[in-house]
Chain A
Amino acid sequence: MPTKVEKDTFSGRDTTGHEWDGLKELNTPLPKWWLYVLAATVVWGVALLVLYPSIPYGPGHTNGLLGYSTRARVDADVKALIAQRAVFMDKIAALPVEKVKADPQLDAMALTAGRIAFANNCQPCHGAGGGGRPGYPNLASDVWRWGGTLAQIERTITHGVRSGDPDAHVSQMPRFGADAMLKPEQIQQVADYVWTLYGNQAASASVAAGKQVFADNCAVCHGDNAQGNHDVGTPPLRSRVHLFANTRDEIVAQINNPRMGVMPAWNKRLDPATIRSLAIYVHSLGGGE
């Protein structure tokens, strides 16, 4: 195979100098602009190699002349964000929740911050707008277990309910049926009584007996008039908003073997100003005391 570059008479261009059985190939080099771009990307690559963290070796990697680090950048970004918010959030964190509520500007900021934090953290259980669902309290009603004042809401969010936090709200309703503390007929009677508190009808003899069972066993926590007690987390029963027991069967089940909810403590996940904002937002949903 002779390698002789010659000019092709037909096209006027050089051949590659290769010849196969009389066939010759025209030399069509890559366009100059393409070669320059290729060279530029190589130079660019070397520059990045030198400026940024790149080559790994034994105990680590080259750090690059710029000393760039994703983690340092995100730490700085978050610090800048906190500084930007600090104008209001520091004031919210420094003042008691009632004072924040009283200041129109801080109140507006807290409501906005609270609404956003609520959507991310609270909505999965309490529903959009705090509407609640079975087992998860409605926050837009005036029924409160652990209290509906700003300070009480803030405390509940901070420490949670049966969350394992040392300051969490904890209470336990006895298993009146499962532990045989009440006879089955007594449970039916007290269920009838509670059912009338919901605004329904039941046999009057049974209700009267149930009222006595209630006074002897339930009133100590639920209150003489079933008005509830924020200290032990009992809700007012004379209401139409209930957590676990909306039907008569559910009332019986709840007396037999009560279900009790758990709410996480948010003090490990959210900062105090965000929790305060959440308290103000939740308080504004409709039932704040």
Chain B
Amino acid sequence: MLIRHEWIERNAILLLVLVLITVAIGGIVEVIPLFTIETTVEHVKGVRPYSPLELAGRDIYVREGCYLCHSQQIRALKDEVERYGHYSLAAESMYDHPFQWGSKRIGPDLARVGGKYSSEWHYAHLTDPEAVVPESLMPRYAFLAETPLRQDRIAAKMRTLRELGTPYTDDQIAHARDDLVAQATVDTDLDTFRKRWPKAVVVPGNANGPTEMDALVAYLQVLGTMVDFADVSTEQEKQ
């Protein structure tokens, strides 16, 4: 042996240095891939930060622990692509802090649930899942429809996310609260809203302002819809 075991055992400094080197290898292996994240995440068109209402809905999703039963990651496997649609791209969750990939599928994967059902269906389903899907195990979330959505923190949330690297513009943050309400109001002028938040789904809402359920449905309806996979350039960019 080049270094005799006995030397290491008898030399505390040498032992310490070698232990540090060994532990550092483990750390380096975990950290190095993060240095290359810019090149790991595909550059695809269409992915935008969540609109204020979607962002609020995402927080409800996290608060209620939806990720414990629903994954948001379609793996690159034939069966999953057949059932759920195109496999998930890293770019699709690049504005998620933290991502909601999940690891359990007691319920179905939700990565591409956006647009699969009408918003009305989501309201009925969240209120009483068994009324729509008799064999469902999902708990009822009827109380979300009776809980007004807290609106005062939305701009601060977006500013915080901007610190973390989500590219919210000043314009988007300035109109955060207006847009939060507009997305849950059917009959408003939506031109400027649509410009700021393309592909956002306007949910029915009600006259008393958005509820937590409105926010959650708006979030569910945008999941997986931002990237246009019919666009050929998407196929080239994702490689």
Contact = CB atoms under 8 A, between A and B. Distances in A.
A264 B120 CA distance: 11
B121 A268 contact: no
A3 B9 CA distance: 13
Interface in B69-111: 76-78, 81-83, 85, 87
B22 interface: no
Interface of A: 3, 56-61, 70-71, 73-74, 77-78, 81, 120-121, 123-125, 128, 133, 135-136, 261-264, 268-269
Interface residues of B, number: 30
Interface string B227-239: 0001000000011
A128 B6 CA distance: 74
B131 interface: yes
Contacts of B32: 56
Contact of A133 (B81, B85, B131): B131
B133 A124 contact: yes
A268 B230 contact: yes
Contact of A125 (B85, B117, B134): B117
B116 interface: yes
B132 interface: yes
Interface of B: 6, 32-33, 35-36, 39, 76-78, 81-83, 85, 87, 115-121, 124-125, 131-134, 230, 238-239
B116 A3 contact: no
Contacts of A78: 78, 81-82
Given A74-B81, A268-B230, A261 B36 contact: no
Contacts of B81: 74, 78
B156 to A, nearest CB: 33
Contact of B78 (A74, A124, A264): A74
A135 B120 contact: yes
Contact of B118 (A77, A133, A261): A261
Contacts of B76: 70-71, 73-74
A202 B115 CA distance: 43
A56 B120 contact: no
Nearest to B125: A124
Given A74-B81, A77-B78, A56 B33 contact: yes
Nearest to B78: A77
Contacts of B131: 133
Given A264-B118, A269-B85, A133 B132 contact: yes
A211 B189 CA distance: 39
B121 A56 contact: no
A262 B119 contact: yes
Nearest to B235: A75
B83 A120 contact: yes
A264 B114 CA distance: 11
A268 B78 CA distance: 19
Contacts of B115: 264, 268-269
Contacts of B118: 125, 261-264
B82 A81 contact: yes
A63 to B, nearest CB: 12
Nearest to A125: B121
B178 to A, nearest CB: 23
A127 to B, nearest CB: 8
Contacts of A125: 117-118, 121, 132
A264 B116 contact: yes
14 contacts: A56-B36, A58-B36, A58-B39, A60-B39, A74-B81, A77-B78, A78-B78, A123-B133, A124-B117, A124-B133, A125-B121, A133-B131, A268-B115, A269-B115
Contacts of B239: 71
